[in-house]
Amino acid sequence: MSAEAAELISLLDALQAAERAGADALERWVASCRDPRLRGGLRVICARDRSHAALAEARLRALGGVPTATANGELLAVCGIVGDPQVSDRTKLTVLLTRLAGGVEGTIAVVARTSRDDAETHALLIAIGEDDRASLRWLRDINDTLDGR
């Protein structure tokens, strides 16, 4: 396996772990969320994240890898807040928006850059990145709506 392929597999592994951890946290948030507008969108974002984890895992397996990564401590801390039923929806939104502004988008951008020589992986990640940008836009919009803006 080339160094480039090994690096790509490692990044896909980190991505599948992050997307799965995010989906698990959002699932816990949906279960305790009392605002129907928020709940409706969170369900979609949660399902997207889970499907992204599955797509990244399938791709890394197709490249000869095996998923072993777990989400890093910083992400797990965010997930702990997002999944905590004692934390308010507004606080969770703020935490998530702060994280997404430089977090998941950045991760996908790094993987997409690394996969330039692998057109299939590259296109897959571009599409995943588009989903995540749409999720971020919706979260910003609903945050503004809840603020009465």
Partner 1 sequence: MSDDRQDVTTFLDALRAAESAGADVLNAWVAVCTLDELRGGLRAIAEREAVHAELIAGRLRDLGASCSATVNELLRVGAVTRFGSSTLSDEEKLALVLARYPDDAAVTRPIDRMMDALDGDPETRELLRLVAEGEVATIAWFRAYQRALGRRIPLPG
- What is the CA 130 to chain-centroid distance, rounded? 12
Q: Residue 44 CB, nearest distance to partner 1 (Å)?
A: 4
Using rule CB under 8 A, residue 25 touches partner 1: no
Query: Which region among 4-12, 17-25, 44-52, 85-93 touches partner 1 (by CB under 8 A)?
Result: 44-52
Cβ-based nearer residue to partner 1, 54 or 87: 54
Single residue of 10, 51, 70, 143 touching partner 1 by CB under 8 A: 51
Total binding residues toward partner 1, as defined by CB under 8 A: 33
d(CA 29, CA 31): 5
CA distance 53 to 47: 10
Q: Nearer to partner 1 by C-beta: 47 or 95?
A: 47
28 lies in the site for partner 1, by CB under 8 A? no
Considering only CA atoms, which of 98, 97, 95 is closest in space to residue 84?
Answer: 95
113/97 Cα distance (integer angstroms): 24
